[in-house]
Chain A
Amino acid sequence: MCLGIPGQLVELSTGHEHLARVDVSGVTRVVNIGLLEDEHLQPGDWVLIHVGFAMSKIDEEEASLALESLKMMGQAFGDELEAFRLSKISPVA
């Protein structure tokens, strides 16, 4: 829960202004980007994600560092990635 995981924006949601599809280590899910609305995020940008919310915009270098560090954590990162994989965030009607 406390791990920030780096993701790359794939697509901004057209239906809901604060949602975007991101790719984390090959897993694509939806996260909320409302806290970064001043950053004018675009596909290809990297963000640090905590519990389904993009908390900081980061550059590719930082994303690469963060991902390598997470991989070294072994099971803790595996658990976080599995939780992310099971996430079903989508616009709530």
Chain B
Amino acid sequence: MRFVDEYRDPTAARALVAQITALAGDDHFKFMEVCGGHTHTIYRHGIEHVLPPSIELVHGPGCPVCVIPMGRVDDAMWVARQPGVIFTSFGDMMRVPGSQGNLLKAKAEGADIRFVYSPLDALRVAADNPGREVVFFAVGFETTAPSTALTLLQARDRGIRNFRVFSNHVTIVPPLKAILESPDLRLDGFLGPGHVSTVIGQRPYRFVPAQYGKPLVTAGFEPLDILQTIFMLLGQIREGRCEVENQYSRVVREEGNPKALAVLGEVFELRPHFEWRGLGFISQSALKLRHEFAAFDAEVRYELPGIRVADPKACQCGEVLKGVIKPWECKVFGTACTPETPIGTCMVSSEGACAAYYNFGRMHREAAVTLGRMRPVPA
């Protein structure tokens, strides 16, 4: 526990908040935390309540469950219902709503849908069921895409021909660009994603300061990591610097994981376009299997309906994902849309901004007081 206490030390937190407050002065700063894991830390520990009013945090698109559009869930359900198919998925995806229900519903109606922990478990199902077609619902950013890639290489090398991948892997840089191009959002910098950066490293973010003049600091997941990252962002701005920096250097390396990047390049190529929930179509933002792996590609094997389904009108996930509105400002937040009956994807994943608010928002004041005992907030 010694280690943990160091990263949640109220004295250190108080000192950092004082420095942040002093650096910010009378100005107002808006920083986006890109990664859903950071969003979770921020709400879990009540960080917004210990920050001065001059610092506003907005939540970004870095939750892979949250950005899957309804049409892809519909396609997944369609594949799962094909005769002879065993459809495998991470547990997180089972409750993500399509336009006609979710994978749990399809399973209840008789489709053979199985949760797996890993794509390697899906490959094992394929090896154990040679007479069936086993489809793996691949989702996630660069954090999970190398795992799918290595699994495909194993399938190929071991001749497991009844294994297919329905790839919905996405990449983190294009949505950042889309957000930076978005006219309705003014940001002063980014808290860069942690785990994705262990794979891609720091170089892919250089366009953020170079082309858009915004600093980006890759952040760890502890409360003090978040505070220190905000301090580093402000420090850059006040010193007139604009760079990519790494607060999470105890895990993230400048060059990322070259082996993982090589495997990604071997198996995947960029799609011309991919639809993101709430963000619309973004060019070269997602990964499809290379031609050499066509035999394993569910999109080649099946003629997917590929129908584009508009997001529900009431749902404002898009604005939440771009940080334009806060989760509680959505019309259906906490009323029609809850973690038990989500309308939007942001309410499904525990790392989605809406679910994080819903689960921990009510604890904010108490958590903030516990973390720092720095600004007791009247109830």
Contacts and interface: CB of A to CB of B under 8 A. Distances in A.
Interface of A: 1-4, 31-32, 34-38, 48, 50-53, 55-56, 58-62, 64-66, 68-69, 72-73, 75-76, 79, 83-84, 86-90, 92-93
B158 A1 contact: no
A21 B41 CA distance: 29
Given A2-B64, A75-B350, A53 B221 contact: no
B120 A89 contact: yes
24 contacts: A1-B140, A2-B65, A2-B140, A2-B143, A2-B349, A3-B37, A4-B195, A32-B150, A36-B257, A48-B195, A51-B117, A51-B118, A52-B117, A52-B121, A53-B150, A58-B251, A73-B350, A83-B90, A83-B91, A83-B117, A87-B121, A89-B118, A92-B127, A92-B158
Contact of B4 (A1, A59, A65): A65
A72 B44 contact: yes
Contact of B64 (A1, A75, A83, A90): A1
A32 to B, nearest CB: 6
B327 interface: no
A39 to B, nearest CB: 10
B263 interface: yes
Contacts, number: 134
Contact of A56 (B4, B65, B93, B257): B257
Contacts of B150: 32, 34-35, 53
Nearest to B147: A53
Contact of A62 (B93, B251, B263, B349): B251
Contacts of B319: none
Contacts of A76: 350-351
B259 A61 contact: no
Nearest to B121: A87
Nearest to B4: A68
A52 B136 CA distance: 14
Given A35-B263, A87-B117, 20 more contacts: A1-B91, A1-B93, A2-B92, A34-B259, A35-B146, A37-B259, A51-B90, A51-B118, A51-B147, A58-B251, A61-B250, A64-B1, A64-B3, A65-B3, A66-B221, A83-B91, A89-B121, A92-B120, A92-B123, A93-B127
Contact of A55 (B40, B91, B195, B222): B195
B147 A50 contact: yes
A32 B148 CA distance: 12
B222 A92 contact: no
Contacts of A90: 124
A82 B119 CA distance: 16
